[in-house]
Amino acid sequence: LRAKERGEAIPSRGEDQVQQTYEGQRHEGGLAASSASGLGSWTPEEQARLEAGMAELRSEKDVKKRWDSVALRVGGGKTARDCAERFRNVRAQAVNRGATDEKQPLRFAPPDRDELTALLPPPSAPAQARQHAAAPAMSAAEVRRVGVEVRLLGLVLEGLSTLLPNTLRMQVVCDRCKTPTEIESKGQGTDTRGVDIACPTCKQQMTVTVAPSICHGGCAAIAHVAGSGCHPVQLLRSDFEAVCGECTAAAAMCNAGPGFRRRGNCAACFAKTNIAIEGADVLGAGVARWRQVALEQGEHQTARKQLQDAKRREKELGIKVGQPLPYQGACKHFQKSYKWLRFPCCGRAVPCNECHDEQTDHPYEWATRMLCGYCSFEQLCNKDKCGNCGAATTRARTTYWEGGEGCRNRTLMSKNDTHKYRGLGKCVSSNAAAKSSAK
């Protein structure tokens, strides 16, 4: 309470501390029964039956059914609510190191770690579920020998003497499935750091060891990185600690990366400072090849996500196989085209390229797949009948030229087609007329 009045931070106790506290109090018989009104007294026999019932029904998923079964095993008029309140009060004693006025000893199975975690206060920073810090697998000399070098390009340090990475974020590529992912290594100073992370696709264990370096005007290298089960390919925006060249005071530079620029003054001596980073590069054997792999996999993931979003949008519109498209796939630009085209640039299916440019913010790419306007079946683009329902994707009989594949008879051709009257007013030379009359 005095620490709270002084404004000092009170450290939270973790799961292991709570478990140790509970075991110690249980061994000494220090945990007492709850004196909540309406629960009544608990005899040692009821405590034993409650403990046995909780241990036996620990795997029951239905909470209501579990407490009803526990109350039946305890007996003595205890209801499911009484058993739950008993468990809740005892658990609060284990977490808060409290004790009630009653001196009745408790013989109770320790609560689940998941249940204790639910009662603990949230941590000061959100924990990452997919990665955690680990002891470095290699020394700094080994990392510099076998790892890759991370270097800043076009670094400008004015009024600052050194730059040291506190939180280094990088993109790595999995050895097995070639999936790119991001890692984050936190630490202080130049001590070697290790990070363990599971691949989000194939769940392969990947370990990254980072050996930070002090970056200054004569050396732009900020770290050496070695990966086990993965390959570092790119530096992402990271957090650095910059030291003033006048008073050696440290200042935080958050989210610094390619294109980062900041002018300011030292908070201690008010000296002018300026930092600029033009770019970043990763130097090492095989980095260029794995960077290309990461680029291709990133494009595949983007295309897959776009296709999923497009199909989700089509589902919301009520489009499914077996039912016709709106207006049988026709639009205001092509009223006799009974199909939708799926464009690979964004994965969307729209009636034509002009509709695509009107509905999106990017130019279309040549489509190779289409949806039939009569049955919504997706297939390769063709000018013939649908492969699912047999319906024609365009009007079967046309009166237009259509590049030579439509109507070629001038008599039947539409007067709106320029090919109907093309060449009729052309002058014929006398030599050609003589040759034609001689025949």
Give the per-residue SS3 of 417-439. CHHHCCCCCCCCCHHHHHHHHHC
**Amino acid at site 386:** C
Q: What is the arithmetic mean of pLDDT over 284-295?
A: 88
Residue 258's CB is within 10 A of a number of other CB atoms, namely: 15
Q: How confident is the model at residue 279 (pLDDT cuts 50, 70, 90)?
A: very high
**85, 311, 360, 420 from 378: Cα distances, Å:** 59, 12, 21, 36
Interatomic CA distance for residues 62 and 70, integer angstroms: 12
Per-residue b or e along 202-224, where b marks 16 or more CB atoms closer than 10 Å to that residue's CB: eeeebbbbbbbbebbeeebbbbb
Alpha-carbon torsion 95, 100, 103, 105, what sign? negative
Of 161, 165, 166, 137, residue with least CA distance to 151: 165
User: CB-based contacts of 72: which residues, under 8 Å, 6+ apart?
Assistant: none
Q: Give per-residue pLDDT as tens, 227-237.
A: 988 999 999 99
Task: Specify the DSSP class assigned to residue 219.
Answer: B
Is the pLDDT reported for residue 400 higher than 80? no
Is the pLDDT reported for residue 109 higher than 50? no
Q: What is the arithmetic mean of pLDDT over 213-239?
A: 90
Q: What is the arithmetic mean of pLDDT over 204-226?
A: 90
Q: How confident is the model at residue 149 (pLDDT cuts 50, 70, 90)?
A: very high
Do 185 and 112 form a contact (C-beta atoms < 8 A)? no
Point out the least confidently predicted range of 76-85, 124-133, 363-372, 381-390. 124-133
Burial class (CB within 10 angstroms; exposed 0-12, middle 13-18, buried 19+) of 34: buried
Q: Give per-residue pLDDT as tens, 409-432.
A: 888 888 888 888 887 777 777 777
pTM for this one?
0.50
- pLDDT of res. 439: 64
Interatomic CA distance for residues 346 and 118, integer angstroms: 43
Angle between helices 63-74 and 80-96 (to 10 degrees): 100
Point out the least confidently predicted range of 185-189, 267-271, 340-344, 397-401. 397-401
Q: How confident is the model at residue 40 (pLDDT cuts 50, 70, 90)?
A: low
**10, 208, 280, 293, 431 from 233: Cα distances, Å:** 41, 12, 11, 10, 75
Q: What is the mean pLDDT of the chain?
A: 78
pLDDT top residue among 63 and 74: 74
Q: How confident is the model at residue 42 (pLDDT cuts 50, 70, 90)?
A: confident
Q: How confident is the model at residue 1 (pLDDT cuts 50, 70, 90)?
A: very low
- The pLDDT > 90 percentage for the chain reads 22
Q: How confident is the model at residue 72 (pLDDT cuts 50, 70, 90)?
A: confident
Is the pLDDT reported for residue 84 higher than 50? yes
3-class DSSP assignment, residue 197: strand
Read off the tokens for 359: 């509905």
- pLDDT of res. 21: 45
Do 345 and 364 form a contact (C-beta atoms < 8 A)? yes
**57, 311, 315, 417 from 308: Cα distances, Å:** 42, 5, 10, 41
- pLDDT of res. 39: 44
Residue 392's CB is within 10 A of a number of other CB atoms, namely: 16
3-class DSSP assignment, residue 105: strand
The DSSP annotation for 324-389 comes to PPGGGG--SS-TTB-EEEEPTTT--EESSHHHHHHHSSS------EEEETTT--EEE--SSB-TTT
- pLDDT of res. 304: 80
Of 192, 195, 187, residue with least CA distance to 140: 192
Read off the tokens for 380: 């390769």
Of 333, 326, 383, residue with least CA distance to 349: 326
Residue 380's CB is within 10 A of a number of other CB atoms, namely: 8
- pLDDT of res. 396: 63
Is the pLDDT reported for residue 195 higher than 60? yes
Is the pLDDT reported for residue 438 higher than 80? no
Helical (H) or strand (E) element with 53: helix 44-56
Is the pLDDT reported for residue 294 higher than 90? no
Q: Give per-residue pLDDT as tens, 344-396.
A: 888 889 999 999 998 888 888 898 899 998 999 999 988 778 888 888 887 66
Q: How confident is the model at residue 296 (pLDDT cuts 50, 70, 90)?
A: confident
Of 398, 173, 379, 368, residue with least CA distance to 289: 173
3-class DSSP assignment, residue 92: helix
Residue where the block lists tokens 């079946």: 377
